[in-house]
Structure 1
């Protein structure tokens, strides 16, 4: 029989898992009060609603979350690419009704799959163009713009019957490191953090957001620990008036795993004021992930919490407070009645967001795509093949790792694209901050004035030596709309 402290620990844990069916260890823990699960790409199949039903049969109060943002970050459509606008596209359109409607459509899709917590929208103000992990996941670099679209998206999600989760408090927008691999620091003046990076979180709280996700970032002015483990930072969130569930970013990310460990991170996060511990995506260790990494990570966190409860180093009252907040959210979602949703046209929003600079030659009958985007990260499938496939249609496409390719390999890829007969399209995502992408564009411009660039990363602030389309999302729908513009 599971003891009382183990059930208490289970009530604040939120693991990911491998596979498209629930493993027996997970079902057993759900029956013993586990708070729920988080879905990632490896859990997706056409039987997702049946998977959700099996999880809820084990625990009717289970919170089922998904790391889904639309645009460049999708799990629901991880195999084929998102058909929803991304945050940067919505920010470019700057129509709060479009953001609200997009949130409502995402809520509809989530509920259809048996999901009731959406880990979005991103409330980070992307003020560093080098940012490798946020970028177009943010609505933009202006706190007022980000704030109004965060609030509108929350309204759409939560009137649609799911809980929204704004992330990543206190703001991940001014970093140039990825917390999946390192521990970023925010060295800004605290007054700037308050005025710029906290503003969208204030707007989210005013909009009644159900949950807030922490960031594994250090603000030295507020202490040496990352925000997820820092009672001062999480106390500031409560001081802003937030009374809902504080969810940690994944404790298996390197920023925690390789510093205090998953178990230490679990105990410290609860002590700091977090309520629901996202143990996260068991693929986070990358190639080092073991076949049973999901189970190992869960029990590492659970055993550490139970041990800290037993020896009194983690106050039981703190964990009971967290459990009660999680239970209250589950009860609210069980009683939710989604509002009626009007007609929704994602492609129309994306068409409004795309920016064409320069004058591409007359419409081409075929496109030959050379995909020169950076390699995928754990947060974003940056090099997803579905983007290039949708852009090329039936035409030629090739992948070119410009950071590693020799001149001969580069020239061979370009020559193969030209030989295929379609208009040459360079698919990039960081032309202003990645020298190799910029060099490729300049190389092609000197030899093929009819080529065009499609940029799925942050919009270009200056000029490029070729006509270009700023798409602002690495998604299937963005590529399809860009293809329409080039072939119509």
Structure 2
């Protein structure tokens, strides 16, 4: 069945069987949350919304940053087709943003907030995220990250988490939930039951957590319990395998769904994207959707139709693949109608809650650049080996070496926000991945003024090699670490800014200029 046929209560072969409800097509639609291509509502999406589609997830390609009213108008058009639509977005602050994707987030990310460890500030940051979403007509932000990043080699969580300490992450997760939901925007704690101890990225492969359930309960489940206790409206299930729960990924595993409900959560359970490799390359998005509902999920996030692995398929076909699989499972009796009705009821309860009035605003103003600067950790700066940057002045020359070797799949490719923040300086940019060692040495030998080198993993051999090369040629270079900060102090001058976003970059520049101004 295609979306053009959804207004008929019929299967491709004919009318619905007498024992099936007449509203089955609407019920199936009510649990699907697809992405779409474009900055306006395509016809297939308008048709599906009119036939009960739960809503949509925005990605950066749905946002036109040059047209400030575009996203609000888009949300209004979606609600004209379905007044009860869920409009979701991955808006975490810091590295992961959709609404501010081009220019970078203006709100600190979780790692910076965790490093600062001020719960009132985290609540305020959550409220800022909620306000950003509400102003755009969005009623669900798929945040905060409640994972405890206990594995420093984790390729997908890292600075998206508040930290590696369970108690700290629990407290800040609850604080962020309270802030977001003060705006009547549903928060969604992710990625249950905890993606923080993985070394695989479930975007690219099935991730496995080789911990016992006792260890999970001690270290990784408490933030989700804290979110539930704070009244979080939604949670997101993870495509991760926990052996004691079985060999199915948590998203598809009834034992994981039951575990969450046993913790007292009664809200909407949303799947992580069904187009991620952990599902796409195993059972596929259609069958994955069926199994996810049977496992206790309520809303199926279909995914981003512009991802590289969906090349050659349009946004409608990504949606219909899931719809057709659910329809077949429901008409065969494999997917009970009662499961669909329960999920629909939970989603509608979230929507009706989101239509309420936000809580009164406080009169406290937060300068997020200043907050981010306070969160930064400075190694070898102002502690016996003070770094001076004599050329970092209004017309100064500066060489900026980017040693990063890739990008986080959740964040996607981004601009060099540090280069943008240094816009008032004469900056020579050098991308280490595009230059040979000899070519980079020539750039450094020809450089005048300060040298900065950006890394986002101090554990990466490639980035360490670039950093060592830079320091050998320019011993006064300053490392800007946009990744996790080690427990020990670095031996070189380093600013740990806990993420790579516009606000983090502006904070780094403010610190460099402040350092220059010190005697």
Q: Deviations over 1:392-415 (max 9, x none)?
A: 64332424244x753223324434
Distance 1:382 1:462 in 2: 30
Q: Which residue of 2 aligns with 1:411?
A: 441
1:42-96 CA distance string (max 9 Å, x none): 1112311000000000000001111110001111110101110100000011000
Q: Contact conserved, 1:179 with 1:216, CA < 8 A, in 2?
A: yes
CA contact (8 A) 1:388 1:427 kept: no
Match of 1:23 among 27, 42, 48: 42
Distance 1:464 1:392, change over 3 A: farther
Task: Report how far residue 24 of structure 1 moved.
Answer: 0.8
User: Does the alignment pair 1:121 with 2:175?
Assistant: no
Alignment match of 1:145 (pick from 168, 181, 187): 168
Which of the two has higher C-alpha Rg?
2
Counterpart position of 2:4: none
Alignment size in residue pairs? 481
Partner Cα distance (1:70, 1:422) in 2 = 33
Q: Match of 2:453, SS?
A: strand
> Contact conserved, 2:399 with 2:430, CA < 8 A, in 1?
no
What does residue 429 of structure 1 align with? 456
The answer as to 2:478 corresponding to 1:456 is: no
SS at match of 1:442: helix
1:203 aligns with 2:226: yes
Q: 177-186 vs 445-454, which deviates more?
A: 445-454
Pick closer, same or farther for the CA change 1:191–1:397 going to 2, 3 Å: farther
Which stretch of structure 1 is more off in the superposition, 359-368 or 319-328? 359-368
Does residue 307 (structure 1) correspond to residue 337 (structure 2)? The answer is no
Question: SS in structure 2 opposite 1:454?
Answer: strand
Q: Residue 119 of structure 1 contacts residue 164 of structure 1 at CA under 8 Å; is this kept in 2?
A: yes
Pairs within 5 Å for 1:22-61 = 22-45=41-64, 46=67, 47-61=70-84
TM-score normalized by the length of structure 2: 0.90
Name which of 2, 11, 24 aligns with 2:8.
2
> RMSD across aligned C-alpha pairs, in angstroms?
1.6
TM-score by length of 1: 0.95
Q: Counterpart of 1:438? A: 464
> How far is 1:345 from its partner?
1.9
Give the secondary-structure state (helix, strand or coil) at the position aligned to 2:240. coil
Contact 2:184 2:353 in 1 (8 A): no
Q: Does the C-alpha gap of structure 1 residues 470 and 382 become closer, same or farther in structure 2, counting only changes over 3 Å?
A: farther
Distance in 1, matches of 2:143 and 2:357, equals: 19
Flag the 1:397–1:310 CA change in 2: closer, same or farther, 3 A.
farther
2-structure distance, mates of 1:153, 1:441: 35
Q: Distance in 2 between matches of 1:351 and 1:372?
A: 22
- In structure 1, the residue matched to 2:402 is 371
Deviation at 1:383, TM superposition (A): 5.1
Instruction: Name the SS of the counterpart of 2:236 in structure 1.
Output: strand
Q: 1:194 to 1:393 in 2, by over 3 A?
A: farther
**Structure 2 residue 493 is the aligned partner of structure 1 residue 467:** yes
> 2:13 — aligned with what?
none
**Cα distance change on mapping 1:443 and 1:268 into 2, 3 Å:** same
Q: Shift of residue 349 of structure 1?
A: 1.3
What SS does the aligned partner of 1:308 have? Answer: helix
User: Offset at 1:307?
Assistant: 0.6
Unmatched segments (≥5 aa) in structure 2? 1-6, 10-22, 381-385, 515-519
Tell me the equivalent position of 1:395. 426
Residue 290 in structure 1 maps to residue 312 in structure 2: yes
Distance in 1, matches of 2:306 and 2:114, equals: 31
Structure 2 residue corresponding to 1:12, chosen from 31, 34, 47: 31
Alignment of 1:62-73 (within 5 A): 62-73=85-96
Match of 1:380 in 2: 411
- In the alignment, does 2:502 pair up with 1:476? yes
Does the 8 A contact of 1:190 with 1:221 survive in 2? Answer: yes
Which has the higher mean CA deviation after the structures are superposed, 274-283 or 166-175?
A: 274-283
The structure-2 alpha-carbon separation of the partners of 1:327 and 1:475, relative to structure 1 and needing over 3 Å to count, comes to same
Which SS does the other structure have where 2:207 is aligned? coil
* Cα deviation code 1:395-446 (max 9, x no counterpart): 32424244x753223324434xx43x23000011002x10111122222222
**C-alpha displacement at 1:344, in angstroms?**
2.6
